[in-house]
Amino acid sequence: MGLRDIKKELRKLEQDKLIDLVADLYKKNKSVKDFFDFYINPDERELFMKYQDKVFEAFYPRRGFNYKLKDGKQAISDFKKYSSSSELLAELMLFYVETGVKFTNDFGDINAPFYKSLATCFVDSLRLMSKENLLDKFEDRVEKLVDDTDGIGWSFHDYIVQVWIDFYPSEYDEDFEDSNSGTEEMG
């Protein structure tokens, strides 16, 4: 069935039946529940906090010891579906990278795929910040993050420094061309 067929069938239902169907979906499907909760009460800051907790838990789970980068990336993806705030999305993406760097500094070097995930998210967050004119707002956090990567292996620190220079060029750097899309991929 396609969307057109679903709409046709839903139009045939009486209002009470339609309400029962939506209520049933709400009870049985977590993503539908999340959608309606946000639809009824669209508090983006509260939504951000919820997804920030999910990103944190991807690195520091409440149970067990295994980080799950996939869960952190999924939290960012889910947040993007609900929120229209580019600033909060950029903040969440940067938080993902900051948390991954903190995790490394707490437990030691991880592996190349771990750093590739962080590096990709770092570049994506900076591209979003650049597009939305938010680089100045996040400059201090980005600089701290770069400092916090010092000593991390797998060429991660070197790559992060290069990306940082690409997006935050020194005013003395005469050779810089405003080409943020030229950042090479790590790895």
Distance CA 91, CA 184 (A): 23
* Domain ranges, ordered by start, for the chain: 1-41, 44-182
> Does residue 46 have a pLDDT over 50?
yes
Q: Exposure of 106 by Cβ count < 10 A (0-12 exposed, 13-18 middle, 19+ buried)?
A: exposed
pLDDT-derived band at 64 (thresholds 50, 70, 90) equals confident
Mean pLDDT (the chain) is 90
CA-closest candidate to residue 38, choices 76, 78, 91, 6: 78
pLDDT tens figures, 128-184: 999 999 999 999 999 999 999 999 999 999 999 999 999 999 733 544 444 445 566
CA–CA separation, 23 vs 39, rounded Å? 14
> Model pTM?
0.81
The span from the CA of 10 to the CA of 149, in Å, is: 54
Cα gap 184→169, rounded to integer Å: 16
What's the one-letter identity of residue 127?
R
> Mean pLDDT over residues 79-107, rounded?
96
CA nearest to 69, candidates 55, 82, 79: 55
